[in-house]
Structure 1
Amino acid sequence: MNYYSSQKYMQRKILFSLAILPLLLISGSVTVFGQANITNATSALNQTEVSSNPNNEIIQLIDSGIASINNGDNDGAKKSFYQAELALEDKPDLSSVEKQIEASLKALKDSDTKASIMHAEEAKKNLI
């Protein structure tokens, strides 16, 4: 009787485990799927904000200048920052951004790439 009850107990344990396993797998899949949808929705929202920003061209010029500095191309960075500054000439409401770009150019002329990037990033923050 003892052997029979322990064998019955093992069978129940195995059947219970087999019944629970699919439920655990399904619940894990739903969680992962939900997280993926949230990530995709957030990415789409961020892309919409950037593409609908009226200052997108200036932001791209600033990004290009920063990338040029990081690649060691200070002349390319100066060109991008000058173009960004020209684009800002027609926008008096963005005079603080223009001053940041001017400060970035001055720092670049003084070979201070860290300060140049810092000013460019600050200008970009004010555009977003």
Structure 2
Amino acid sequence: MTNILQNYRRVALFSILAIVPLLLISNSVISYGQTNTTNATNQTSTSGGPNSGLIKLIDSGILMIKSGDNEGAKKSLLQAESGLEDKPNVSGAEKHIEASLKALKDNDTNGALTHAEEAKKGLA
């Protein structure tokens, strides 16, 4: 009986010692892949041009709209709009942000997203 119990303990111990490193390795591989994908997305969406700060504000507003935080989206889009006031060559983007804010006021999230995306395209 003691021999069976010792064998059971050995099998359990070796199983744990084999499984734990595999779990740690698989988790780090998944995390590494997610981090690289996120960084690649951020680098392609904002290339560091003259309007990158405004694009980041619009991106933030878009994410907030998608998450249901309309008040946060309004704040972000209002900041982007105030940054566009001194730039007459991007008046189309400013009009789209104004339209996005109006759509948010009317609880039209699809319209708000559409106009925010168009404003972002106008700045890229």
TM-score by length of structure 2 reads: 0.63
Q: Tell me the equivalent position of 1:89.
A: 85
SS of residue matched to 2:50: coil
Q: Tell me the equivalent position of 2:114.
A: 118
Q: 1:93 to 1:72 in 2, by over 3 A?
A: same
Contact 2:46 2:56 (8 Å CA) reproduced: no
Per-residue deviation, 1:51: 3.0
Residue 68 of structure 1 pairs with residue 69 of structure 2: no
For residues 73-103 of structure 1, the C-alpha deviation after alignment (integer angstroms, 9 at most, x for no partner) is 0000000000000000110111111000000
| Identical pairs, percent | 64
RMSD: 2.0
Q: Tell me the equivalent position of 1:79.
A: 75
Letter in 1 for 2:54: I
Q: Tell me the equivalent position of 2:52.
A: 56
Per-residue deviation, 1:53: 1.1
Q: Which runs of 4+ in 1 moved over 2 A?
A: 46-52
Structure 1 CA distance for aligned equivalents of residues 46 and 58 of structure 2: 14
Letter in 1 for 2:59: D
Per-residue deviation, 1:48: 7.3
Which structure would you say has the larger Rg?
1
Total equivalences in the alignment: 85
SS of residue matched to 1:51: coil
Q: Structure 2: where are the runs of 5+ without partners?
A: 1-38
Letter in 1 for 2:78: Y
Contact 2:94 2:119 (8 Å CA) reproduced: yes
